[in-house]
Amino acid sequence: MAPMLATVDTPAVHGGYVRRHITDVWPVYVPGARCEARTSKEKPLQAPDWQAAARHPWDTTLSGLRADALDCLQTTVALVADHAHGPGTHLALGCRWRFPEADANGAARIQMPVQDRFAEAMRLLGLRAERIEASDGPAVRDQLAGGQPLYVIADAFLLPWLPYAGHAHMSHSFLIEPFGERFLVVDAYHNDTQWGPARPGAWTLSPTAVDQVIAGDVTTMDVRPATGPLWLDRSKVLADNATLARAAKPATDAYTERLRERLAEPGVIDDVVLDIWLLSRERSLHAAWLADHPAARQVSARAEAWQRLSTQSYLVARRMRRGGRPNPVLIDDLARLLHEDMALAIELAEPSTVDDAVDAVVLAELCATLGLDEAVVRATDTLRSLPGFDSFRLVDAIDRIEQRLDTALPDDLAVDDLRDVAGLCRLFRSAKHQAKAVSTG
């Protein structure tokens, strides 16, 4: 079934922005959302109006998402993409590294306009969206009568399965579809908040509950698979990232300098927290997208550094709200991480002489162990197809390669990497890079 997208017009203030429409901002949570107690007219939903769903058709897809590396709009896009195209499709959202760049007004900023990010997500994940009119909860239920799921963005203040319910107004996305006489909500958001954790899950809602959580003017879009997810050439993507990194220094310096000058102004610290939070998740998702690439471990280390800075930014923001002075060290650390990321992005795109040397050793020792010419080994699809090959000869070859490279393979070898020469090269490249990273600290 093809999902649809819906946005709710809500006056939620979020990270210094007014959340009013999907084309205004990319809705994610950071401190700075408008927080207030629930009024007497806004009664919380009670069971059996909503309850956790024990079993549902989205369970496998939901559990396969890297939800901890996605923001709250991306999670639902990712859910739709993986359900349509298969596990791991959503990781393509992490292929790009973002750096500050000048906007239409010449000001340096981290995040591109949300409509551009949404269009990029549709292209990368092989989805398309078409607007459909629906003005409120009953209208959305009418749309659901056709059996199509809806992708909804509503005010988190009204969503009882979230820790924000009754505490903070902000835009938040989820999927909803018919579920017998009730409705199934699937929400893949993963985050920790001052009111408790938000974790991926599914819940069933009564018709009354649907009308209560979708309160306001609603825009719906039919989001469904297009031709298929975009095929990404990893080398080309890394080269494109390097090009962006090489050009990013002027905008990066302008961006961090502006933050230093304006950090004490109202709302600026919330913008900083939002940018760092998003960069932390983007770096984590990039590491997941790299998968078995030798640099995945380096990028994971960068993501951990951004996560630490994200925690630091929350502490600075909380102290400033309590009357504390701005801490410029936060901006210094932000600038340092951005410049280090730029250097790494450029490095990842450069041909690796280490990788070439490793491949040459693997090939040479395979040939020597089996007594074969290099042309024969290169032309064979699988190791088992090589003349004279068996598991004993493989062990002999691995021993010889380890001695030549002075690098031992890990104990938890992946069977697929022992299938062909390319896989064996990947194993030794990764082991060599890890050994180098350990030796350099």
What is the tens place of the pLDDT at every residue in 62-118?
Answer: 999 999 999 877 999 999 999 999 999 999 999 998 899 888 787 888 877 778 888
Neighbours of 311 (CB within 10 A): 12
Residue 206 in this model has a pLDDT that exceeds 50: yes
Task: Give the integer Cα–Cα distance in Å for 155 and 19.
Answer: 9
Residue 439 pLDDT level (bands cut at 50, 70, 90):
low
Residue 37 in this model has a pLDDT that exceeds 90: no
**Beta strand 182-187 pairing with 201-205:** antiparallel
**Percentage of the chain lying above the pLDDT 90 cut:** 48
86 Ramachandran zone, left/alpha/beta (phi>0; psi -120 to 50)? left
The confidence score (pLDDT) of residue 61 equals 95
The confidence score (pLDDT) of residue 354 equals 59
The confidence score (pLDDT) of residue 437 equals 56
Sign for the CA dihedral angle at 211, 212, 214, 216 comes to: positive
Task: Give the integer Cα–Cα distance in Å for 118 and 138.
Answer: 27
Cα 102 to the chain's mean position, in Å?
Answer: 23
- Ranked by mean pLDDT, which of 41-45, 262-266, 416-420 comes out on top? 262-266
Q: Across residues 365-370, what is the average pLDDT?
A: 94
The confidence score (pLDDT) of residue 377 equals 87
Task: Give the integer Cα–Cα distance in Å for 296 and 284.
Answer: 10
Which tens digit of pLDDT belongs to each residue from 298-341?
888 889 999 999 999 999 999 999 999 999 999 999 999 999 99
Q: How much is the mean pLDDT over the chain? A: 83
**Residue 179 is inside which H or E element, if any?**
strand 171-179
Task: Give the integer Cα–Cα distance in Å for 61 and 376.
Answer: 42
- pTM more than 0.75: no
Which tens digit of pLDDT belongs to each residue from 152-190?
888 888 899 999 999 988 888 899 999 999 999 999 999
Contacts of 12 (CB under 8 A, 6+ apart): 18, 19, 33, 34, 155, 156, 157, 168, 169, 170, 171
Q: Across residues 275-288, what is the average pLDDT?
A: 94
Q: CB–CB of 407/437 below 8 Å? A: no
Task: Give the integer Cα–Cα distance in Å for 251 and 102.
Answer: 6
Q: Which two tokens stand for residue 244?
A: 């962006």
Tell me which of 117 and 52 has the higher pLDDT: 52
Burial of 440 (0-12, 13-18, 19+ CB in 10 A): exposed
The confidence score (pLDDT) of residue 420 equals 80
